Chains A and B, each alone.
Chain A
Amino acid sequence: MRKKLSRHIGTITSGLRQNRAGGAALAVILLYLCATIFAEVVAPRDPSKTTLATLQPPSREFPFGTDDLGRDVFSGVVHGARTSLVIGLSVAVISGLIGSGVGLLAGYAGGWAGGWARGWARGWIDDALMRVTELFLTPPRFFLALVVAAIFGSSYTNLILILSLTFWPTTARLIRAETMSLRERDFILAARALGSSHARIMRRHLLPHLTPLIIVSAVVRTGNVILVEAGLEFLGLGDQSRVTWGYLLHNGQHFMRDAWWMVVFPILAISVLLVAINVLGDELNRLLNPKGNHVR
């Protein structure tokens, strides 16, 4: 398993070194991660501290200007990156774990003569899991997240839970489809013939083959989560105690005529990050998942 993982990392690094766009995207993402980790050093001003210097255009003191309450926009952008990245990564991990588990189980157990389920139970697990997945995939993800956030409140942890809830089915469906094609391969049959248990087959034989796909989908997912999260906050549904990109845009829309800097810098910050994640996702797709379905 560890050897396998290091081989994937080797593929990624050598592949990205040859591809300028992918390498640049990775560099941009690392830059954002650094700014997130060292936010207090990069932007020492408290992003929610109000001052008397309201609606100041960008200057040497305030590189991105100040907002209607005299808060430093640069600090807001840097600290907003932390919120977005933490939410994006946590949701990608949580929904990736749930989605991979459900997908693997449904794909392996479902409707297959070699699976452990016998008789009427064959396919039942797959059917039940897939009906639930379908139900969560039908309402537009954005509306589902929005309604749940409006009802249950949109605190930081709530947002992570709500977005995980809306994002796992996509991964589940992807992993299920891949598992269903893998399980028919000869090496799985051979492992069965040698007496491997189902749990062992899933862990030692299927999972390693699924890892590249899981990695790619987690990267793509992170970008999607940040997009939805910013959208919710832009509509006014966010954690009020934190400065986020979506909040900056929500607040700035009333001052666009007089203070363009209040929205233009957050727009640039979010767009550059999402483009970088998108480019990296495409590149990883090409490197790790050359034959399979393109993960979006």
Chain B
Amino acid sequence: MNLPPLHLLRFLARRLLQSVWLILLLIALNFLLIHLAPGDPVHLLAGQSGDEQYFQFIREKFGLDQPLTAQLWNYALNLARGDFGFSLAYQQPVLELVLSRVPATLLLMTAALLISSAGGILLGVEAARRQGSLFDRAVTAFAAISDAIPSFCLGQAALIVFALWLNLFPAQGMVSVGREMSGAELWLDVLKHLALPALTLACVQMALLVRLTRTQMTQVLNEEFVVAARARGVSERHLAYRHALRNAMLPIITIVGNEAGMILSGAVLVETVFAWPGLGRLMIDAIALRDYPVLLGLALLVSIGVVLANLITDLAYSLLDPRINHGARTTGARTTGA
């Protein structure tokens, strides 16, 4: 077996080290928030609803009478053991609680990403093929509008029109309540509930994908190899989808991967609108109950997830693209939304 070249290994090592460092900093940031917060830090570590006896237990567990550096070490050690705190409201460890909500959110995000990738890339390529046409302008206008409208506004509007007025879809939840279902029937029911939130989320993501695909494709379509292929008599459709899109895909994948945090934020808000039982719902309840361990643990886990997603994206990119220069630090202006 051939070993990957040395510069690639060095790049992997540096990128890995950078991620570990970032995660440690994020933990420190969380710790800082707990201690900067007004009032006794024990309320943030235990949650608002505990009694004095429980507070005392938490004080001892986190060594709140010790110097701050010892406390930070203690805090990090607990996290390293997978102990992200305990939710009194749910009577469950935070990690367990968060992980139990991940599948629902993941289902929603995957469905939305599939719809938006298919739709966004198709619209983007077709718009780039006929630049300046009515179709192109319509697609650009659609992207500008769906990029600007907040996901929860779009969700509420969709809910009112399609669920309440037209009665096409169930309004809220993940399954119908009060009916015993199994197998195909259950899946169909979930699918029906999934349709509106997934389409809403897809619509918001599609803005990013259409813009990206259109820009990338307009660049690639002007490159010499495309002109050469056209001169050889390759059909326009084949040219766009087989030759140009392949080259345009790499930056698209990278930017979408780097936007994982934004996509998740959108999902959380859409979940709230449709009472989808995922991470978003958990967060709302945590805010309402002032269940700080859940809130802090969730935020930290999400941040770590984003670090890992960015790492995987970068590694995939460097493995897929032979042209990338591993010596250069990646600095390009990343697109960022809310």
Contacts and interface: CB of A to CB of B under 8 A. Distances in A.
A176 to B, nearest CB: 8
Contact of B37 (A131, A151, A174): A151
Contact of A142 (B147, B287, B331, B338): B338
Main secondary structure of the interface of B (DSSP, over half): helix
Contacts of B164: 256-257, 260
B96 to A, nearest CB: 20
Contacts of A143: 261, 265, 298-299, 302-303
Contact of A140 (B37, B38, B272, B303): B303
B144 A278 contact: yes
A135 B287 contact: no
Given A147-B33, A230-B150, A235-B284, A141 B261 contact: yes
B333 A177 contact: yes
Interface string A246-271: 00010011001100100110010011
Given A147-B296, A224-B338, A271 B150 contact: yes
A264 B37 contact: no
B232 to A, nearest CB: 33
A256 B159 contact: yes
A296 B336 contact: yes
Interface stretch (B9-17, B21-29, B61-69, B316-324): B21-29
Contact of A135 (B22, B44, B295): B22
Nearest to B34: A151
Nearest to A174: B333
A159 interface: no
B295 to A, nearest CB: 6
B306 A138 contact: yes
B271 to A, nearest CB: 11
A239 interface: no
B273 A223 contact: no
Interface residues of A, number: 53
Contacts of A249: 152-153, 156
Contacts of B295: 146-147, 150-151
A201 to B, nearest CB: 22
A93 interface: no
A134 interface: yes
B139 to A, nearest CB: 14
B337 interface: yes
A135 B29 contact: yes
Contacts of A150: 287, 290, 292, 295
B20 interface: no
Interface in A173-229: 173-174, 177, 223-224, 227-228
B148 A234 contact: no
Interface in A130-184: 131, 134-135, 137-144, 146-148, 150-153, 170, 173-174, 177
Contacts of A260: 160, 164
Contacts of A170: 336
Given A139-B302, A147-B33, A275-B145, A224 B26 contact: no
A234 B22 contact: no
A173 B76 CA distance: 30
Contact of A141 (B145, B215, B265, B268): B265
A227 B338 contact: yes
Interface in B250-267: 261-262, 264-265
Nearest to A132: B25
A236 interface: yes
Q: List 4 A-B pairs, minimum CB-CB distance, nearest first.
A: A140-B261, A142-B265, A139-B303, A274-B148
Given A134-B22, A150-B295, A235-B283, 15 more contacts: A140-B262, A141-B261, A141-B262, A143-B261, A144-B299, A146-B283, A146-B295, A151-B37, A224-B337, A267-B157, A274-B148, A274-B149, A279-B144, A282-B144, A293-B332
8 contacts: A134-B22, A140-B265, A146-B283, A146-B295, A151-B295, A152-B38, A177-B331, A278-B147
Interface of B: 22, 25-26, 29, 33, 37-38, 44, 144-145, 147-150, 152-153, 156-157, 159-160, 164, 215, 261-262, 264-265, 268-269, 272-273, 283-284, 287-288, 290, 292, 295-296, 298-299, 302-303, 306-307, 310, 331-338
